[in-house]
A = this chain, B = another copy of it.
Amino acid sequence: MNTIIPQKKRPGRPPKQIGGQHETRTALLRAGVEVLTEKGFTATGIDEILRRVGVPKGSFYHYFNSKEAFGADVIETYARYFSRKLDCYFLDESFPALERIANFIADARSGMQRHGFRRGCVIGNLGQEMSALPDAYREQLIGVFGDWESRLARCLEVARAEGTINQMSDCAALATFFWIGWEGAVLRAKLELNAKPLDIFSEAFFAGLSR
């Protein structure tokens, strides 16, 4: 698909660059996000990521102390990427709040479709694997969900203010519910290789809002 820069790197200290430093490190993290999105942490070997980026092991352990440290960085990278995406949708004032959410869902849906439903969500994947993962990841993952939750909750509060959802709604609880169900839907879509689970869940979610 995209990816893969099998370009051999010369050894030795690289010339000082003004802008893009740490290209290799960035490339490793990017590849890490892609692979962990697809296969999770345990099933992924360092070598696979290395091969993808065209980098030998020496470089990897120059930039990261261990696979565990690498994983933590991948989580952070993904979380940053994702919360930017959420803001991009949830704060877009050119749409009413509920449509912003629908737009996010549509984007995520088409993203999964574009990758043949092989890629899911790094956070969901690692959450599922948690019992076989470094325990330090737990708080990190919980934190990411918390972040997503509060961003969505704020958007739902806007919807409540706009009067498009029930005035009595507990936006925080609704947001929690959304991400719980969404992860389930992503998992199921990956399993069945189609978008129906996403559609069924989001339809039910929106139906619940107007109640």
Q: CB within 8 Å of B: which residues of A?
A: 38-40, 42-44, 118, 120, 124-125, 127-132, 138, 141-142, 145, 173, 176-177, 179-185, 187-188, 190-193, 197, 200-201, 204, 207-208, 211
Contact = CB atoms under 8 A, between A and B. Distances in A.
A128 B184 contact: no
Contacts of A129: 39-40, 43, 128-129
A191 B132 contact: no
A129 B40 CA distance: 7
Given A38-B131, A208-B207, A208-B211, A201 B181 contact: yes
Q: Give me the 8 closest cross-chain CB pairs, A-B, nearest first.
A: A184-B184, A43-B132, A181-B181, A128-B128, A127-B191, A42-B43, A183-B184, A180-B184
| Oligomer: number of copies | 2
Contact of A128 (B142, B176, B177, B187): B187
A200 B117 CA distance: 27
B43 A190 contact: no
A135 to B, nearest CB: 11
Contact of A187 (B38, B43, B124, B173): B124
A142 B191 contact: yes
A176 to B, nearest CB: 5
